[in-house]
Amino acid sequence: MKKLLMFLLLALVTVTLAACGSEADNAKADEGVDVDRIRVVIGSSSTGGDTYQNAEAVSRYVEKELDTNMKVDAVGALRAFDELSKAKNDGSTIMFFHDMAYLGVEYGSFESKHELENWTIGPVIATNPGNAFLTKADAPYDTMAESAEWLKENPNETVTVAIESGGVSEIVFDGYYLWVKEEYGEEVSDRIHAYVTGSQEDKNQALWDGNADIIHGSIGSNKQYTQDGVEDKIKMKFLGITAGKRVEGYDIPTFAEQGITVNGEEFVFDKEFFFLLPKDVDKNFAEALNKAVADVAKNSDYAEDLKKNTYVVNYKPADEAKEYLINKREKFRYIIKNAPSLDEITK
């Protein structure tokens, strides 16, 4: 009889523990954190640029909120989209990128199947207000506006700008190009050329090798080359930023301050970072990620981490982010439509 009672008690305990475990698992699943590892593919192959820096920072905090592990994988834009299209709907693979995600489709660098409407748009989390252009420290101009004036005064000279096609660097280059054309005419704008390359490291090298006179970059990625004590052969200076206002601590004028306009409006472009998820992603996971990102956005430690590279917190929940990014895409279609083809102006 005692053996029978012990057996029944053990069976009862086993069933109870199993039920508790099942409830815990279900609760975890309901919260969308039932994956032990989340792969965050980014639209850059560089681990030194602002995409990786922002992805790494937010992932480090979000993984704590979700009680999981997140790994940033710098695979490049085309592969990132490919991986996202093949991803399971459990949230084990998600994407982190910036405005190039939709600009690339508009420019034709990415297939139309990758347009925003074909994904689940996650929250916006950060802005790089230091989206910038730079040149060699000894260049004969100190701003982007002055580079155009220099071209006007030196009719035998040209300016070549290193950019990456189909993304943020192309849209801001196009804004500059259209302004020069409107302000100074084709005689000047025809002497502006593009040098198409890839990562930030490639753009830097293009400047150092003499293949470009100006490069697209950012305060966070390039400030090290502008500081006192840097060797003359690699030293740079900032020519302007595209954000709406100056970055605190840096004496770098905005495009708007320089009088750069497009179609009668001040040219302002804020480079923003956000998540993209599979179209049919589990709703519980999407909600959990959105909540986790919202909590991270309130974390002062996260804000301080971003500040080290001059990035700022800019949280927009997923439902607002979708409408916001689609409207932003529409706004910049004018520039894309009226800008010259890179094939026509590439050096």
pLDDT in tens, 192-205: 999 999 888 999 99
User: Per residue in 67-104, pLDDT tens?
Assistant: 999 999 999 999 999 999 999 999 999 999 999 999 99
User: Per residue in 307-320, pLDDT tens?
Assistant: 998 899 999 999 99
Q: Are residues 101 and 64 in the same domain?
A: yes
What CATH code is carried by the domain that includes residue 97? 3.40.190.150
Residue 64's domain comprises: 31-128+270-334
User: Per residue in 234-263, pLDDT tens?
Assistant: 999 999 999 999 998 999 999 999 999 999
Burial of 23 from C-beta contacts in 10 A (0-12 / 13-18 / 19+)? exposed
Q: Are residues 147 and 226 in the same domain?
A: yes
pLDDT of residue 212: 98
| Ordered strands of the 69-74 beta sheet | 69-74, 37-42, 93-98, 271-277, 120-128, 312-316
What CATH code is carried by the domain that includes residue 142? 3.40.190.10
Q: Are residues 85 and 150 in the same domain?
A: no
Q: Is residue 159 part of a domain?
A: yes
pLDDT of residue 29: 41
> What's the total number of domains in the chain?
2
pLDDT of residue 25: 44
Q: Are residues 307 and 244 in the same domain?
A: no
pLDDT of residue 7: 47
Residues of the chain with pLDDT under 50: 2-33
| Residue after which a domain boundary falls, among 232, 250, 269 | 269
CA distances from 287 to 33, 66, 74, 318 (A): 10, 11, 25, 9
Q: Are residues 213 and 99 in the same domain?
A: no
Q: Are residues 227 and 278 in the same domain?
A: no
| This model's pTM is above 0.75 | yes
Q: Is residue 23 part of a domain?
A: no
pLDDT of residue 47: 86
What DSSP state is assigned to residue 231? -
Q: Are residues 219 and 231 in the same domain?
A: yes
Q: Are residues 263 and 275 in the same domain?
A: no
pLDDT of residue 58: 98
| Residue after which a domain boundary falls, among 251, 269, 287 | 269
Q: Are residues 45 and 117 in the same domain?
A: yes
